[in-house]
Amino acid sequence: MIDRRNAVYCALLLALTALADEEDYSMARAAMVDEVKFYAALARDSGEEALNDDVMQSLGTVERHNFVASDQRRFAYENRPIPIGHGQTISQPYIVALMTDLIEPERDFVVLEIGTGSGYQAAILANLVTHVFSIEIIEALADEAKTRLARLGYDNVTTKLGDGYYGWEKHAPFDAIIVSAAASHVPPPLIRQLKPGGRMIIPVGGRFMTQQLLLLEKTDDGEVITRQIAAVRFVPLTRGR
């Protein structure tokens, strides 16, 4: 009898702890969103546009702590990249927000992601668009992300293990493409799978340091123009004396 009572107490305690944890996480998440907004506002003061409200809302909804390993959870809502194993990271929230904002997501969009990673970027997109197709080249990550996204209820995300170079012909063309994996060049097949008027975004730099973002736009007549977007406004010349 005593044992059973103890078991009930333990279960209650665990449930309460979990609830308290969830509350802590949602406060931390709100603080993270505020931080990203703060930095975006700083960027706006120096001439850049503010981040889209829907993007910020999605950032405030997706439970980033569910996309990192348990020993990294306490860092989940810090504005920084976090290792997810296999030499990969979950990107800095500020960069995720900026990249998502740059593809100008709309409700009816079908988006292709190259490099599923933890699935966090796909989850952010899933709140904003009709469907996300995501390809991962690392088997373990692909399996984990698939299970995780299904468990968290992101049923408008479809993932697969495979070569991202050729995109996903079956579901092409896409309104937008996000390439999270590093590449020495932009795969031409991906450009072909982008709808006229569509946008592709590629972060450039190392795993822990995004250097700049490459925004590729395909005009209505199929011409390709790219823009290098610095994550942060920085004028390389001091004022003349």
Partner 1 sequence: MRRLLLAILLISTAAIAYEILLMRMLSIVQWHHFAYMIISLALLGYGASGTFIAINKRLLQSRFELFFSVSALLFSATMVMCYVVGQRVPFNALEIVWNSRQILYLAIMYLVFFVPFFFAACCIGLAFTCRRSHISRIYFFDLLGAGIGAMLVVGSLFLLSPQNTLIMLAIVAMLASALMGFMSTARKPLMAMQLLCLVTLLFGLPQDWLDMRISEYKGLNQAMQVVGSNVLMVSSSPLGLLTVVESPRIPFRYAPGLSFNTSFEPPEQLAVFVDGDSMTTITRYEGNLDALGYMGDVTAALPYALLDAPRVLILGAGGGTDVLLALYNGAGSVDAVELNPQITGLVTNTYAEFAGHLYDDERVTVHTREARGFVAQSTDQYDLIQVALLDSFAASGSGVQALNENYLYTVEAIQEYLEHTRPGGMLAITRWLKLPPRDNLKLVATVLEALRKMGIAEPGRRLAMIRSWNTSTLLVKQGVFSVDDTTVIREFAASHSFDTAFYPSMPAHAANRFNLLDQPYLYDGVTKLLGDDADDFVERYKFHIAPATDDKPYFFHFFKWSTLPEVMALRKRGGASLIEWSYLILIATIIQAAVAGVFLILLPLSLIKRSWPAGTGTRMGSYFFLLGLAFLFIEIAFIQKFILFLSHPLYSIAVVLSGFLIFAGFGSAYSGKLAHRVEQSDRSPVTIAVVGISAIAVLYMALLPTLFQQLMGLADSFKIVLSVFLIAPLAFFMGMPFPIGLNRVANTAPDFIPLAWGINGFASVMSASLATLLAIEFGFTAVVLFALGLYAIAAVIIHD
Residues making contact with partner 1 (CB under 8 A)? 35, 39, 42-43, 75, 78-81, 83, 85-88, 92, 94-95, 98, 137-139, 161-163, 165, 182-188, 191, 204-212, 214, 216, 224-228, 230-232, 234-240
Select 52 or 156, whichever has its Cβ closest to partner 1: 52
Residue 134 known to be catalytic = no
Nearer to partner 1, 106 or 169 (CB): 169
Cβ atoms of residues 128 and 122 within 8 Å: no
Question: How many CB atoms are located within 10 Å of the residue 158 CB?
Answer: 16
Nearer CB in complex with partner 1: 7/86: 86
CA–CA distances in Å: residue 66 to residues 22, 69, 147, 181: 11, 8, 12, 21
Minimal distance, residue 72 CB to partner 1, in Å: 10
- Greatest distance between any 2 Cα atoms in the chain: 84
Residue 147 to residue 81: CA distance in whole angstroms: 22
Burial of residue 139 (number of CB atoms within 10 Å: 0-12, 13-18, 19+): exposed
List 58, 91, 118, 134, catalytic entry: 91
State which residue, 171 or 207, has the beta carbon closest to partner 1. 207
Inter-residue contact 190 to 146 (CB < 8 Å): no
Q: Cα separation of 57 and 51, whole Å?
A: 10
Query: What CA dihedral angle connects 121, 124, 128 and 134, to 10 degrees?
Result: 30
Catalytic residue list: 91
